[in-house]
Chains A and B, each alone.
Chain A
Amino acid sequence: MANLKVELCGITLDNPIIPASGTFGFGYEFAELYDINMLGTFSFKGTTKDPRFGNPTPRIAECTAGMINAVGLQNPGVEKVISEELPKLATCFHKKVMANVSGFSVEDYAYTCQMLDSCEQIGWFEVNVSCPNVHGGGMSFGTSPEAAAEVTRAVKAVTTKPVFIKLSPNVTDIVSIAKACEEAGADGISLINTLLGMRIDLRTRKPVIANTMGGFSGSAIFPVALRMVYQVAHAVKIPVIGMGGVSSAEDVIEMMLAGATAVQVGAANLVNPYACRDIINDLPSVMAKYNINRLSEIIGGCK
């Protein structure tokens, strides 16, 4: 029988499938459709110190084989996440969840992570230094090795759980940033966030997105994501979570061969709300087709 289990920093996942932050909310919408306990885990909606409404609408634009979003980290703030969202989540999800955190200063990141660290439900942190949709924060920390390392050190200093740093593809050399995070004490690297993109409405000759630009995701970005996962996984010793355009069991296996220990699924959830369930159900037969008995054996299998 196919073995889908993988280990992520000391916690065993039943399978490597993790819905990506920002495409799964806090899980409830999907829990109405299927038992989300079948997931490896999921990364909850990017949480900041203070509540945020995010950017003006339109925030969404369609692309060939993908989409652009400029939501801008809308979330209820860490206090409400702890007092309202996590207790509600506990009623439908009984595994450790991944806490996705963003900020506008090093202190913000540390504050939010420290607040969440005592929550029993949280298994890992995924620190987002790569949101392309907010000014003066997010991506600015992920575009320099020094700033990414500083955030990593600050979060590691106040937390006890494994910390993954989520990196931006909108950089010249993603490997140097991943290595800087590893040296600063990160327990893992998560990549890639969305690619900065844009669409123009031919009728109005204006950007479709109110914020002009946004993050491009969807199956179109898979080869770019795979390449970066391959580069980073070969350069660091810590585990890598691969994501970017993953929409099938075959994509998951490709990501793992490139070096990913676990795989996140993002935009695909928005188009097919059953995407993660379908991928998990498809994995055993696709594994059999390629003579894979244990998924964990293929991690980094492509040299």
Chain B
Amino acid sequence: MKQGFYTISENTPLTQTVYRMRLVGDTESIKCGQFINIFIDGLYLRRPISVCDVSENDITILYKVVGKGTEKMAEMPIGSKLDVLTQLGNGYDTAPSGDKPLLLGGGVGVPPLYLLCKKLIAEGKQVTVILGFNTQNEVFYEKEFSGLGAKVIVATADGSYGVKGFVTTAMDGIDYSYFYTCGPEPMLKAVYHASVTGGQFSFEERMGCGFGACMGCSCKTLTGNKRICKEGPVLKKEEILWQI
């Protein structure tokens, strides 16, 4: 974990509710699948947001406006400064990916897969990405993933764009060596049952601190109790114990 002060260089809507924010500052040792924890003036707890991309001098996050914290974020002007904790969580492990990894993202579970996709492609892997959304006007980052060189399939629940159905519908018939997924818990569970290889799941939980001190986000796994913020948010398929 590291604390830093960042300057907002971009804060633009990608859809009606999803925004992209770029934060200029220290980006040392930030791994794909990790998250940052942002202090927001006037609110008590920090807001944990997954890292979508990292460059030499900025961090990109994509966030959905769902409550008080993200509403305030959406109103933040370019140039304003934020107190941010970085290098949080374990992140994805690309070592077991094989040659043809499959990435499955649902809604605001899509962002952390971007940096992962970038890393896998840099490692010479042939990456397929399935992005799931409710409807056409919620779709984001299709072009960005294609731009990295991945094969991208979009699924919408109402069929207004791409494959009609869920990410698991689009998964049918795809040849893959390993998978990585992030999204709402019912989706993760569906992927768990539909998948035929090993894989990694990124989970979400309400957090107090985000760095392992409060035990607010603990979960039971087949390999013992884990803190989503510290030993997670990424868990391997073989250690997951479904509570829902």
Contacts and interface: CB of A to CB of B under 8 A. Distances in A.
State the majority secondary structure of interface residues on B.
Answer: loop
B45 A271 contact: yes
Nearest to A76: B225
Given A61-B206, A271-B44, A30 B213 contact: yes
A291 B160 CA distance: 71
B184 interface: no
B215 interface: yes
B1 A23 contact: no
A57 B44 contact: no
B205 A57 contact: yes
A226 B117 CA distance: 53
Interface residues of A, number: 36
A32 interface: yes
B215 A273 contact: no
A274 B4 CA distance: 12
Nearest to A57: B205
Interface string A64-77: 11110101001000
Given A66-B44, A67-B45, A269-B209, A60 B214 contact: yes
A270 interface: yes
Contact of A57 (B46, B85, B206): B206
Interface in A247-291: 267, 269-274
A62 B209 contact: no
Contacts of A30: 213
A53 B45 contact: no
Interface residues of B, number: 26
Contact of A33 (B1, B215, B219): B1
A25 interface: yes
Contacts of A25: 212-213, 215
Contact of A67 (B44, B205, B243): B44
A24 B212 CA distance: 9
B225 A60 contact: no
A53 B224 CA distance: 10
Interface string B200-222: 00000111110111111111100
A29 B205 contact: no
A271 to B, nearest CB: 7
Contact of B212 (A29, A56, A64): A29
Nearest to B68: A62
Contacts of A33: 1, 3
Interface in A1-57: 22-25, 29-30, 32-33, 45, 53-54, 56-57
20 contacts: A30-B213, A33-B3, A53-B218, A56-B243, A57-B217, A59-B216, A60-B214, A65-B44, A67-B208, A74-B215, A74-B218, A219-B44, A269-B213, A270-B45, A270-B208, A271-B45, A271-B209, A273-B211, A273-B213, A274-B3
